[in-house]
Structure 1
Amino acid sequence: MQRYGLIGKKLGHSFSKRYFTEKFEREGIADATYELYELATIAELPQLLQKQPDLVGLNVTVPYKETVIPFLDELDEAAARIGAVNTIKIAAGKTKGYNTDYIGFRDSLEQVYPATQNSRALVLGTGGASKAVVAALQDLQINYTILSRQAGQGRLTYADLTPELLKQYQLIVNTTPLGMYPAVENCPELPYEALSAQHCLYDLVYNPEQTLFLEKGKSAGAQTINGLRMLYGQAEAAWQIWQNR
């Protein structure tokens, strides 16, 4: 039996177990299982690997995409550049980290948002998912600015973001968990009145499929994309890695 799974702190929101279980059934893969492993701290990972020697692949979710790195034997080149890991391959007792969030976001954005030379993106949040988004924007040659609660070099804070400034960014990507189930009444604090049909809002949150962030964008006539496209893309990329494809 080949065992796969997801590690994170709280996994009640997870889509991965259902996704992979259905994939195994659909493709007639009888010798595989996918489980959820809630870890109080990432320091519990070595113990998990000892207790589950048949684990061959793990997905990583918040808040461990960055803190997992010191616990891995090796990093894929892209994951090292991004500084975050969401997929782990386990072979011959060794662990190697990858970032398929990058692949899922890049490919899904290319499919629905034709970037131009003047495209500018506003990235909400600074966590592991944000780093994957930024790397994808760089490779797609889309200029970007990070929006954070705390000031930093090259960043804006929410207090800095005026309606006039928001109009300068056509693509707005939410990488924060704001609006995720069950706290569906939350959304990033933006001057939503400045949104128009010229904007595209991409929310990495996928549960619910229509977050308050996206609802506000849709009401203003903006194009909206939820996190399911990225989720499917990163999951399939992880499967290809686990299968050496």
Structure 2
Amino acid sequence: MAPAQSAAIKPAVVPASPHGDHAAKIGPNAVIQLIQALTAAGLDDAAKQIFAAAGASDWLARPPGEMVDERPVAAIHQAVRRLLPPDQAIAVLTDAGLRTGDYILANRIPKFAQVILKLLPAPLAARMLVKAITAHSWTFAGSGRFSGQVGRNVVFEIAGNPICAGEHAESLVCVWHAAVFQRLFQVLVSPKSRAFEIACGAHGDAACRFVVDWKAVPERSCAKAAASGAAPSTCCGCCAESAEPVSPDSGPSAGHVISSKAH
């Protein structure tokens, strides 16, 4: 399908000279797996337009193999949302996130650690996995401020998420991150796990917020949010009641579950 301008997404303002030497870095799989997803969807021609619009055509020919400047990565993800029809953009970015999760499972989490996590009760496995993800959040959050909490479910937040920096949307757009979280939790905690973004910086929220529930599909809103008049796309926080912040430095080697190599 030919790219189409989405009325819901305004073009992002990407800083000049996106390949600056002092830019924050993000893992290359934010690009590599997106290329794979575009190819799998039969969108090779659209991919050329997307990467050209982001000023990153060279990456389409030679995907990066190490940590890269987060700004052209953001420009690519935002170009996907801007140039593809909304449903197609969501499908491609979701597939890219799932592929990124699969890559992490195949290459960055030792097999023995995966076996241990799968044997643990889901709440304990979730806590261990959150610690590991938090310890290595720089690989997918870049300059964003990442936090993770575990309660009845898991809540991740990325304040200043670079992937949607400068973007203004009528919907929640960070499906790539949600898909990465979902794949990891489905394989290592419970196949019932589902991840949703419930607040987004591009939508005007203070941070991008994701809920992961390993028991059932979580509600996108809740009774308390409705009673308070909150927008349906936001959460009052009751889904994280009794949640505790998770430190990557606490617990039995939790931070070493995921390899420190570039994701």
Q: TM-score range by the shorter chain?
A: 0.3 to 0.5
Choose between structure 1 and 2: higher strand proportion. 1
TM-score (ref. length: structure 1): 0.36
Could you say which structure has the greater relative contact order, defined with CA pairs below 8 angstroms and 6 or more residues apart?
A: 2
Choose between structure 1 and 2: higher helix proportion. 2
